[in-house]
Amino acid sequence: MTKPMYKQFRSPQGWYSFLFPVNWEHMVVEEIPAFFHPDGGGALQVYAFESKAEYFDIDKELENYLKIHEIDYDPEKVAVFENNEGSAIRACEFMREDRVWMVYMVANKERMILLTYNSDEEVGDELFQQLTNIISSVRFLN
C-alpha cells in the first residue's frame, strides 16, 4: 500500500476543504490557518470570505488586495483558471520587502478564499507544484 502524499484540511466552518502535503504542518493563528514545511522559509495562509449580498468579482477583489499592498495590478501578470467544479481561480506573484509573495484567489458564487504564500526564499519547482496542487484541490462544501 502506498503512503498518501496529501492530507485534507476542512475549514472550521465546514464550507471549504483542500489537500496539503503530508510533510507540511499547520496551525491556526488568530483564526487564520497557516500551512508550512517545517524546514521551509515560508507559509501559506488562508482567509475565507462570504458575501451576503452578491457574487464575488474575483478580478476586482484581486486588484483591491494588491492595491492595499501598494502593488500595481497588471492583468497581463495574472493567471486565470477555473477548476472542475466551476470555481474561478486567479494567481499572481510579486516581490515585496525582499520576500516572494504568491497570491491566489478562489471564488464560487458568494464564497471566496484568499491564499497567500510568502517566503524569504525563492519558490522552486517542487514548492510551486505543491502550491498549485493545493489551490487546485480547493472545494467549496454545502
Going from the C-alpha of 25 to that of each of 22, 43, 51, 81, 109, the distances in angstroms are: 8, 10, 30, 27, 30
74 lies in which domain range? 6-140
Tell me the mean pLDDT per 10 residues along the chain, length 142.
81 90 91 91 92 85 91 90 89 88 92 93 90 92 82
114 in a structural domain = yes
Q: What is the pLDDT of residue 3?
A: 67
**Residue 39: strand, helix, or coil:** coil
Give the Cα separation of 9 and 32 in Å (integer).
13
> Grid coordinates standing for 46?
488562508
Q: Structure pTM?
A: 0.90
Domain count, the chain: 1
Does residue 16 contact residue 90 with C-beta atoms inside 8 Å? no
Q: First CA to last CA across the chain, in angstroms? A: 32
CATH value at residue 113: 3.40.1000.10
Give CA–CA dist 28/45, Å, rounded.
Answer: 9
Q: Is position 1 within any domain?
A: no
In this predicted structure, what is the pLDDT of residue 73?
Answer: 87
